[in-house]
Chains A and B, each alone.
Chain A
Amino acid sequence: MQSANMLLKKLLRTSVLPFAARHGMKKNLFPLSRTLSLSHCLKQDNSCKPSEKLDLDAWKKVMKSGLQEEVSETVPEPQELSALAAARETLEMWRLAGKLVPENISEEQLKMFMECPSKSAKKKYLKYLHLKELHKKIDKKKMEEKREKKLEAQEQTSKTDETKKSPFLYLWSSTMDKAYNWRAAQSMIFGQPLVFDMSYEKEMSIREVSNTVKQLVLSESSNRRSADPFHIHFCNLKDDSLYHKEFLKHYREAWDKLLITVTDQCYTEVFPKDKLVYLTADSPKVMKTFDHDKIYIVGSMVDKSIKTGVSLAQAKRLGLETAALPLDKYLLWNRGAKNLTLDQMMHILLTLKDTADWKKALEFVPKRKYSGFVNKSVNELKKSLDLINTLKFGKRQEEVQKKFAKSYPKK
């Protein structure tokens, strides 16, 4: 009610002000246009002519008089506030104070908000909701604009109604889908397997799981669109797990029609152990070439808090070979963690499979993370490294050894 009032007043103001400004009107015209809602203001204005002394506390009267209206309005409301209502009220106050708070919040979100353990956690959650709301609004606006443009365009084309002659029917997207599915089906028989390890649910927060699933959906779609797709395996995926629920949210009915293999078995049960390679940024081994006979495993995990060594521990436990992408070898790393998102990994692996060109594949590493490619060939680099080493130890190395032999003779 209160906010509605304020909105009304604001509307009044914005419609009056520019008008008055444009026409160079003086103040005396000004309050007249608002007589309906603000009679007390009018009185004060009349009593205070420009030449007179300003009544500095006039605003207090306004604030206090507004109060009486409020009171009469709020009387019928129940006195006792439930915890939820109290939280809602706190939110409202935060919004009035200009903090980043969503305008609308659902009961469920409000409960999540109350369960946040600390004030900063609460603030972060609200900011997240606020930004989400904002993006939604912007998207909606863009959609509407698009629709309008489309309608306009349609009108124009309907005026110049003229069917173009073409040997093909206009059926692009569904035909493409069929073609993609055909390829994916082929990959399920002949394709190279690529495993996503879905055993990290308990390492992640709910938000991280939903981010993981989003990335997996992106990966799956880019795989489907590629010329020679992988045969994707989701291993260790239990029914009714959080992963599963999120997948259903994204795919709905299509989940059962996806041309991938989903199993609750571990990859070690599905594939021979000696063919498996676990890809993890923590691995001490660096991948040199893409091997078409190996089965690569990618851990389906988003770790915002950078838990090092989680997937390496998993590989160690199962006794699997591990590998990391040769990021440092090809890129001048700038900033950011070396772990990449799942869809980036997918792009890189697909490109490697098709072209075996590291430079092309590593184009998919986000640009902000590196400042450029290593230009020199590996040989040249090795030479300069050797040079540095000889400068560092060089002649001294032998000297040191001699000295050692002298001062600590072998027993």
Chain B
Amino acid sequence: VQPPEKPLQAEEWNRLRENFKSAEIFEEVMLNSMIRCKTPIDVAKSLLTHVAECNGDIAYRTLVKYLALCVQQGQVSEILDMYDILKGRFKILESGAYSLLIRGLSNSDQWRMALPILEEAKQIMIPSRTSYESCIKAASRHQETKLAFELYREMLAKGVVPTLDVLQSFFDFSRGMKGAELQEELFGILLYLRENQIYPHKTFMRSIKLWFESIPGGNWRGHLTSIKDSGQCPVCNHQLEDSDLTEEEYNNLSERIIRDVIHGADTFRKTSPQEFEAFQTFVEKRLPFDIVIDGLNVSHIKPKKMQCENLFDAVNSLAKENVRLLVLGRKHMLMNSANWKREIMKEMQNKAHFFFAENISEDDPFLLYATLRSGKHCKFVTRDFLRDHKACLSNTLTRHLFRKWQRGHQIVVSPSVEGRHLNFLPAFRYDCVVQTTGDTWHIPYKDVFEEKYSFQVPRKWLCIQQKL
């Protein structure tokens, strides 16, 4: 339906309604299309008047639709009126109306009115993150940074994940402002990014840079750069952190992997107790390995080649002097078949240790176990992103540890462009995460806003250093 351009008389509305096929939802459909066409609210008002005259009442959802229209057009007095009407009519409202009211008011001079409404919304349910976002932005826009940070902390305490937009707004609104306390708060946000392994996008990065450079008397300078493979920053020559876990973290992670990934709810799902025990004794006897290879994964790299041939190539290019290799596979690889030639398999077993799991067992958990058991220097080779195994871990902290460890220890193989040989993308020598030494900050950032894969790691960095 096309909404009218001018307010209509009751009979004109009646005529429109009669022409509409389902009269019961006429108002809603009409208001929806008004929101879509950004029709002036006077037209909507005339519709409401008509409805009120016919029914003596207006349904709640119609009122909310009208409220949405007012919010869209920033009609503050109208929003306040709506609040009065709704409050008069209903004891409590539902979350949709609350967030509309909050959004509408926090964008206006009456932004303080949004705060009691936020309080009210808390009574029935945890407010949405956009509601918090509106209030925080309003508060920091009006230099009420203390209030803004209070709301931010409350949001975190409630387990509501802040949008990157809110975090960015803190940096935008604090630009040029003085105060050690404020500085600490913003550093706190950067550490929040670090702990949760969140990478800011390009515009957010720019806000961070501008804020640093605007701190009065701070003498901060920011540069965009990319870090060398060695982990050294080309701007300040600072060596970035490596992804090694502390002793405690390392033990914690190994324990969790055994408990959650290998055993899980039922050891028989992925392997069997006998098999796992056999594998453990196998590994203990031959420790430590330098590189653990997921045999089946590597064998599928080039689909045109025989699978054992692919594996053979990989083993050959990784086998060097004094490098101890472990290849994990399944028993079917030992059966002489079109893809698995016995001679080649024999040949390979001279160069590396092999463990063959049952055909119905999963080999990835073994891969993780063997690598972790071998120690911090040990790397593993697979193209798998290991997302399903990460998902088995029971808490976010361990998942973050797992990601960090994975970044530093996974070698990714891919066929080279001309297809002759294999490419090995070495594991990172440094950890890709927001980091600081006090007088420097290094912040990795994403080029595009939407890069949603957790395994993708940005290559671009913001280097910030303080010249004293």
Contacts and interface: CB of A to CB of B under 8 A. Distances in A.
A90 B124 contact: yes
30 contacts: A9-B56, A17-B54, A27-B11, A41-B53, A50-B11, A56-B7, A56-B49, A57-B45, A58-B52, A59-B51, A62-B56, A62-B58, A63-B57, A63-B88, A66-B57, A70-B89, A90-B92, A90-B125, A96-B61, A96-B94, A119-B125, A119-B126, A310-B266, A312-B269, A313-B266, A314-B268, A317-B272, A397-B306, A400-B309, A410-B347
A44 interface: yes
B350 interface: yes
A60 B59 contact: no
Nearest to A53: B7
B93 A66 contact: no
B10 A27 contact: yes
Interface in B13-67: 14, 18, 28, 42, 45-46, 48-49, 51-61, 64
A54 B7 contact: yes
Contacts of A411: 350
A58 B49 contact: yes
A9 B58 CA distance: 11
A29 to B, nearest CB: 12
A372 interface: no
Nearest to B56: A38
Contact of A5 (B57, B270, B272): B57
A67 B88 contact: yes
B94 A97 contact: yes
Given A90-B94, A316-B272, A97 B46 contact: no
B92 A54 contact: no
A54 B97 contact: no
A9 B51 CA distance: 12
Contact of A96 (B59, B126, B269): B59
A374 B353 CA distance: 44
Contacts of B341: 401
Chain B contact patch, size range:
35 or more
B10 A6 contact: no
A15 B93 CA distance: 31
Contacts of B9: 50, 54
B347 A62 contact: no
A111 interface: no
A340 B52 CA distance: 54
Given A57-B45, A62-B52, A309-B269, A96 B60 contact: yes
Contacts, number: 145
Interface string A32-64: 001001100100110000100011111110111
Nearest to A55: B49
Interface in A366-411: 389, 392-393, 397, 400-401, 404-405, 408, 410-411
A410 B344 CA distance: 10
A26 B10 CA distance: 11
A41 B94 contact: no
Contact of A393 (B52, B60, B306): B306
Interface of B: 7, 9-11, 14, 18, 28, 42, 45-46, 48-49, 51-61, 64, 81, 84-85, 88-97, 124-126, 266, 268-270, 272, 304, 306, 309, 312, 338, 341, 343-344, 347, 350, 359-360
Given A59-B49, A64-B85, A392-B304, 16 more contacts: A6-B55, A21-B18, A34-B56, A44-B53, A70-B89, A96-B94, A119-B125, A308-B269, A310-B266, A314-B268, A316-B360, A317-B266, A393-B306, A400-B306, A404-B344, A411-B350
Chain A contact patch, size range:
35 or more
Interface in A146-181: none
A56 B45 contact: yes
Contacts of A37: 56
A93 B85 contact: no
B55 A9 contact: yes
Nearest to B89: A67
A5 B266 CA distance: 58
A93 B94 contact: yes
B92 A93 contact: yes
A98 interface: yes
A47 to B, nearest CB: 12
Given A26-B11, A62-B56, A63-B52, A397 B338 contact: yes
B93 A93 contact: yes
B46 A56 contact: yes
Nearest to A282: B360
A96 B62 CA distance: 9
A67 B89 CA distance: 6
B164 to A, nearest CB: 22
A54 B343 CA distance: 94
A136 interface: no
Contacts of A139: none
A54 B49 contact: yes
B65 to A, nearest CB: 9
A67 B90 CA distance: 9
Contacts of A26: 11
Nearest to A81: B91
Interface in A79-125: 86, 89-90, 93-94, 96-99, 119
A275 interface: no
A9 B49 contact: no
Contacts of B309: 400, 404
Given A54-B49, A411-B350, A59 B58 contact: yes
Contacts of B91: 89
B10, B11, B338: residue with the most chain A Cβ atoms closer than 10 Å: B10
B71 to A, nearest CB: 15
Nearest to A10: B55
A94 B11 contact: no
A284 interface: yes
A316 to B, nearest CB: 5
A89 B264 CA distance: 42
Contact of A60 (B51, B57, B81): B81
Contacts of A397: 306, 338
A384 to B, nearest CB: 16
B311 to A, nearest CB: 13
A13 interface: yes
Contacts of B58: 59, 62-63
A71 B14 CA distance: 32
Nearest to B123: A86
B318 to A, nearest CB: 15
Nearest to B87: A67
A45 B52 CA distance: 11
A63 B85 contact: yes
Contacts of B266: 310, 313, 317
A13 B18 contact: no
A8 to B, nearest CB: 9
Given A56-B49, A63-B52, A93 B338 contact: no
B263 to A, nearest CB: 11
A89 B94 CA distance: 9
Nearest 8 CB-CB pairs, A to B?
Answer: A313-B268, A96-B60, A59-B52, A93-B94, A56-B45, A67-B88, A62-B52, A59-B48
Contacts of A54: 7, 9, 46, 49
A409 to B, nearest CB: 10
A332 to B, nearest CB: 23
Interface string A1-26: 00001100110010001000100001
A31 B53 CA distance: 9
Contacts of A67: 85, 88-89
A408 B124 CA distance: 73
